[in-house]
Amino acid sequence: MKLPSRPQDKIIVALDVPDTDGAMRLLDALGTPTLCKIGLELFTAQGPSVVKAVQSRGSSVFLDLKFHDIPNTVAHAVRSAADLGVTMTTLHASGGPVMLEAAAKAAAASGNNDLLLLAVTVLTSMDAAQLSSTGIGVDPKAQVLRLAGLTSAAGIGGIVCSPLEVTAIRDSLGNDLRIVTPGVRPTWASAGDQKRVMTPAEAVKAGSDWLVIGRPITAAENPKEAYAKVVTELSYP
């Protein structure tokens, strides 16, 4: 998948709505975003049909289902995502090297040359205390770096991490690994339940390739105006 060239191409609009009608209303309000994220809520409610509906409006789809299962099951899920024509899909890096390698092989054999696999490292809702409660006694940055290295070695093309870890990943692994960052909040928006955040301009300056932005745009009184404000921020950081 090609790196984004225009500011608006860096934005992945999160369609965190309950149904296809809600997603279509957002697309009507925004025009045609380059990339839209379909996550667990919307896909569980509407299934593959909502992917096709978004694609029919001219937007590419980031299918964010975070696969985490035995290697064979994840490989088949990746093939199914590839068959839907999505340009990005996610799996958990914590599934381990065998699972990651199986996913990478499935994507390579799928025939969908635009598909970028992204391994989720540490969720942006997790801080050190939350991570420790799961038995992982290191800070989030150390765990993200460990999982990013595992991802790269397995042949997965990119990762999902908070913007706070991006600089360290670039310093450690260089620029070949694609990085998608949620936890991006303009100064005029609430951080919500995400704990490790940056502004859009800060995240791109740190080295993020794509930014997942949901509620600051989709829950705004005027989504089109909010979307335009983020594009402007990325155009003139």
State residue 151 phi and psi, 5-degree precision: -65, -50
Is 2 a residue of the active site? Answer: no
Q: In what helix (H) or strand (E) does residue 178 lie, and over which residues does it extend?
A: strand 178-181
| List 52, 66, 205, 224, catalytic entry | 66
Residue 130, amino acid: Q
Which two three-digit tokens encode residue 88? 């990005």
Show Cβ contacts of residue 12 under 8 Å, excluding neighbours closer than 6 positions. 35, 36, 37, 62, 88, 180, 210, 211, 212, 213
Residue 3, amino acid: L
Is 211 in contact with 10 (CB distance < 8 Å)? yes
Cα–Cα distance list, 129 to 20, 133, 136, 138, 160 (Å) = 37, 6, 10, 10, 20
Which two three-digit tokens encode residue 228? 């335009």
Calpha distance 10→38 (Å, rounded): 16
Is 167 in contact with 174 (CB distance < 8 Å)? no
Calpha distance 234→237 (Å, rounded): 5
Catalytic residues: 66
